[in-house]
Amino acid sequence: MTWVGDNSAMIWDQLREHLYLALVPMVLGLLISIPLGYVATRYSWLANPLVALGGVLYSLPSIALFIVLPAIIGTQVLSSANIIIALTIYAVSLLIRNVIDGLRSVPEDVLQAAVSVGYGTLRRVVTIDLPIAVPVIFAGLRVVTVANISMVSVGAIIGIGGLGELFTLGFQQDFLTPIVVGVVLSLALALLADVLLVGLQRLLTPWARVNSPVKAA
Amino acid sequence: MLQGFLDFISDSANWSGAEGIGNRILQHLAYTFLSLGIATVIALPVGLLIGHTRRGAFLAINTANAARALPTLGLLTLIVLLIGIGRLPVIIALVVLGIPPILASTYAGVSGVDRPTIDAARGMGMTEGEILTKVEIPIALPLIISGLRSATLQIVSTATVAAYVALGGLGRYVIDGLSLRDFPQMLTGAVLVAVLAILLDLAFAGIGRYAVSAGLTGRLRRGTDTKTTTAPATAEASL
């Protein structure tokens, strides 16, 4: 355990990098998939192809995507942009389905009521559709966030992987401690992120607690 | 860069021999199916049991959630340092990662079968074993296959990463290319493994379509509306 004390600055840096590499794609994924999902509910012929494309993209192994991206979009091979873009692609692939399902779960009479009292499209989507879709979108967001946090470490193979660098370090030095520290911190980060998302969802959907206190997403 | 990749992949010398592309693909498939097979033998019966008895749901759901949070590279390096370099530790890691998706979706499929359907089967005099094999498994099949599919993709992906801890397969091109700063070689490995993953995914989608009982997909539906579990079948098929 003295190793942890001696290297706390390094571990702290990697933890911060890890968080950055996992959370930026999560936010980007949300920012991209919400408008995309809205368009797909508006023009419903788009929905199935988009979900199918998401399924194919999600099946791509992360290490493969990290390496293929520079060849396609011209980033540096060892750039953290590859990790962020790859994880954003995974996030959108998964979230698009939840956003579409969530927006479709808005009852027709609610939509009509909103239109008839004079809501414009943007105001209706932001204040009516999205809040109702929150539980379904958050179910996807939790999966994306936890998966991203564990996937970041694969980037360590190409030199950018936050806590994953503790795994490569431990492997190269035949030394168990950094690996255990990395696994534990990564799991803790995923758990913490998940708990925070559940809390945020509760804040965003106060009516869910009133109607069905036991119903979890 | 792209030219280098095309040169590498079109050079016939890179396709033959023990380190050739053909052999690397076969190795990758062998590791994948061996690990998938072992994971299935372990996870499927447990998932069926938990789903049928509806006891231990906590276990089935939480292993899947915990496994999603587990960093694969951490697991690989950890097991290799504990057991030693070689094929066995890597296969163990791949099996560990393959079990949760199969377990969770088998459980979800079997426990999701409508209560009245099972009661009807029991009322007709079916034994518990018959209920499982003739009612629950056929209805749960779409979800079971989707679990096998997730497990396969997870294993294919992790087997690539496992080249870092000295496994063969397509990941070798990625790792060897990286240490030689040979980007075309890395790209070859990455593209091949991506194509392999997509093909396996499509294969499972195809199996899912044909393995599902016709009574569930509505292919043979006659008049009356059967409100059974059509939803998972179509949801999986559309992926």
User: ipTM of this model?
Assistant: 0.87
Q: Which of residues 72-91 of B touch A (CB under 8 A)?
A: 72-78, 80-82
Q: Please list, in sequence order, all residues whose beta carbon lies within 8 angstroms of the beta carbon of residue A54, skipping any fewer than 6 positions away.
A: A92, A93, A94, A96, A97
Taking CB atoms and an 8 Å limit, are B153 and A163 in contact across chains?
Answer: no
Q: What is the pLDDT of residue B239?
A: 36
Distance of CA A1 to the CA centre of its chain: 32
User: Which contacts qualify for A121-126: CB closer than 8 Å, 24 or more apart?
Assistant: A125/A38
Taking CB atoms and an 8 Å limit, are A156 and B183 in contact across chains?
Answer: no
Q: How many CA atoms lie within 13 A of B213 on its CB side?
A: 16
Report pLDDT digits (tens) over B206-232: 998 887 777 776 665 554 444 444 444
Q: What are phi and psi of A77, to 5 degrees?
A: -60, -40
**Right CATH for A2-211 from 1.10.760.10, 1.10.3720.10, 1.20.140.10, 1.10.645.10:** 1.10.3720.10
B194: CATH: 1.10.3720.10
Residue B2's identity, in one-letter code, is: L
Report pLDDT digits (tens) over B40-85: 999 999 999 999 998 888 888 888 888 889 999 999 999 999 998 8
Q: Which of residues 68-97 of A touch B (CB under 8 A)?
A: 68, 70-71, 77
Q: What is the mean pLDDT of chain A?
A: 91
Does residue A123 surpass a pLDDT of 50? yes
CA pair distance B169, B151, nearest whole angstrom: 18
Report pLDDT digits (tens) over A81-110: 999 999 999 999 999 999 999 999 999 999
Contacts of A174 in chain B (CB under 8 A): 81
Of the given ranges (A184-188, A197-201, B95-99, B207-211), which has the lowest mean pLDDT? B207-211
Among all residues of chain B, which has the CA nearest to that of A56? B198
Q: What is the pLDDT of residue B234?
A: 38
Can you give the residue range of the structural domain that contains B231? 2-237
Contacts of B190 in chain A (CB under 8 A): 63-68
Q: What is the pLDDT of residue B12?
A: 80
Q: What is the pLDDT of residue B233?
A: 41
Taking CB atoms and an 8 Å limit, are B194 and A68 in contact across chains?
Answer: yes
Contacts of B156 in chain A (CB under 8 A): 61
Does residue A74 surpass a pLDDT of 80? yes
Helices (H), A105-205: 108-116, 121-124, 130-151, 164-172, 176-204
The stretch B151-174 carries a mean pLDDT of 93
Among all residues of chain A, which has the CA nearest to that of B160? A63
Give me the sign of the Cα torsion angle B35, B197, A44, A202: positive
Q: What is the pLDDT of residue A214?
A: 54
Q: What is the pLDDT of residue B224?
A: 47
CB A100, CB A55: distance < 8 Å: no
CB A99, CB A133: distance < 8 Å: yes
Q: What is the pLDDT of residue B218?
A: 65
Q: Which of residues 98-117 of B touch A (CB under 8 A)?
A: none
CB B75, CB A150: distance < 8 Å: no
Taking CB atoms and an 8 Å limit, are B194 and A65 in contact across chains?
Answer: yes
Give B76 to chain A, closest Cα distance, Å: 9
Q: What are phi and psi of A216, to 5 degrees?
A: -105, 160
Instruction: Choose among A155, A167, A166, A164: nearest CA to A70.
Output: A155
Taking CB atoms and an 8 Å limit, are B77 and A147 in contact across chains?
Answer: no
The stretch B179-205 carries a mean pLDDT of 92
- Reported confidence tier of residue B181, pLDDT bands at 50, 70, 90: confident
Instruction: Choose among A22, A38, A59, A43: nearest CA to A141.
Output: A22
The stretch A149-170 carries a mean pLDDT of 93
Q: What is the pLDDT of residue B229?
A: 42
Does residue A113 surpass a pLDDT of 60? yes
The domain total for chain B is 1
